[in-house]
Structure 1
């Protein structure tokens, strides 16, 4: 027993957990010592903002699809330092709890079993739906995607604009073969429009970029 045995005492109080006899990190995995899910380290204070969360989502989308050209509105195209700092705090929550998000974003709307839909000002026509891992101590976010909240799906090819179309809607309009990996974060769909080769880039099922030629 080390001189500072507080980690062991915290483990006994189920404040932290061990994996294979060694102290684990702050992820909500199964604790082999406790034989149960254990809550990780205390959550940060709810001083985070909706704007910071939106920027953190955009940052994740950029990392997922670095070749796609993003054109978000101000101030997200050149965010101020305080917003970047806030987004960094959100990103530090590698697997946030649904209740962490709800404390800042408001109560979610149910999208079905283990699916929680939040309305965000940056995307007024869509829900950002979070899929959760439900454990005995909390619901942890493991995936997210955009789903239609309001407005109409595609009615013409002119509607194929970034931030306004979902991948399933484009598949239905153009008759594309449905993807074999619907749960993938990133999809690039090559297609032709009036004989011109194009590519559509989707992140979390939301269209983020359309290339108009192989060189674009």
Structure 2
């Protein structure tokens, strides 16, 4: 059953890609040259009210019962999808209990997450600039996980995230190219890599050389996940959204 609008108590219509799924009322309005105030491809809220002509989100997400550990496991599962050879994980992530696995799935299930809802579980964020909010996570003590947000009438939604340095030294030598130790921008500065054409991509696979050996570095949310030797059959680079 669809939730009700908090303002008019009318039914809410689900939104996909910024548009109400049921566009029949929209087409009727279009013929009458009336357009809803939220704007086509507007806010990321998951519901739309045709009576009020506004985006809506009556349900806070995620549930306050979720934990930091569940969020971290959700991130690790996310990273594993790109780089299966993750660094050795600390307990309880080597063999997580079933309840934690279920919680990690719940973290991934909402279409959109709000900064204020995440703050209930992760603690108040540190501002990293306009529309950027940095959370401290125990698994990565040297980094903030910075969430970029989009401000809408129903709250700040997370639209992207990346790791940024919180403490410790940036990359100083080739030996520093260890998983969970280097950021993509630090490696770019050290090796003189050309900046990526897609800086906001979810992951990057960067070809480079060490002592004449062809290598590849995998970055997820701008944090180094894996360094591996590139075989001749792979060619100069790998195609993917991160290149």
TM value normalised by structure 2: 0.76
Partner of 2:68: 50
1:137 to 131, 135, 154: 154
Counterparts of 1:200 and 1:155, CA distance in 2: 17
Unaligned runs of 5+ in 2: 15-19, 26-43, 233-243
Counterparts of 1:134 and 1:9, CA distance in 2: 20
Give 1:57 deviation, angstroms. 0.8
Give 1:45 deviation, angstroms. 3.4
1:206 to 201, 223, 230: 223
Partner of 1:60: 78
* Of 82-91 and 179-188, the range deviating more from structure 2: 82-91
Give 1:17 deviation, angstroms. 4.3
Partner of 2:182: 165
- Give the number of aligned pairs: 206
Counterparts of 1:61 and 1:41, CA distance in 2: 28
Indicate how the Cα distance of structure 1 residues 86 and 32 shifts in structure 2: closer, same or farther if over 3 A, else same. closer
Counterparts of 1:44 and 1:156, CA distance in 2: 41
Contact 2:5 2:12 in 1 (8 A): no
Counterparts of 1:214 and 1:31, CA distance in 2: 50
1:122 to 129, 135, 139: 139
Unaligned runs of 5+ in 1: none
Counterparts of 1:42 and 1:69, CA distance in 2: 35
Contact 1:131 1:144 in 2 (8 A): yes
Contact 1:15 1:39 in 2 (8 A): no
**Partner SS for 1:77:** coil
Contact 2:206 2:217 in 1 (8 A): yes
Contact 2:80 2:86 in 1 (8 A): yes
Give 1:41 deviation, angstroms. 3.7
Give 1:9 deviation, angstroms. 6.8
Partner of 1:69: 85
* Of 87-96 and 184-193, the range deviating more from structure 2: 87-96
| Structural mapping, 1:1-216, within 5 Å | 12-13=8-9, 16-17=12-13, 19=20, 20-21=23-24, 28=45, 31=48, 33=50, 34-43=52-61, 45-63=63-81, 65-66=82-83, 68-71=84-87, 72-214=89-231
Q: Give the root-mean-square deviation of aligned CA atoms.
A: 2.6
TM value normalised by structure 1: 0.85
Give 1:14 deviation, angstroms. 6.7
**Partner SS for 2:175:** helix
State the 4+ residue runs in structure 1 displaced beyond 6 angstroms.
8-11
**Partner SS for 2:135:** strand
* Of 70-79 and 121-130, the range deviating more from structure 2: 70-79
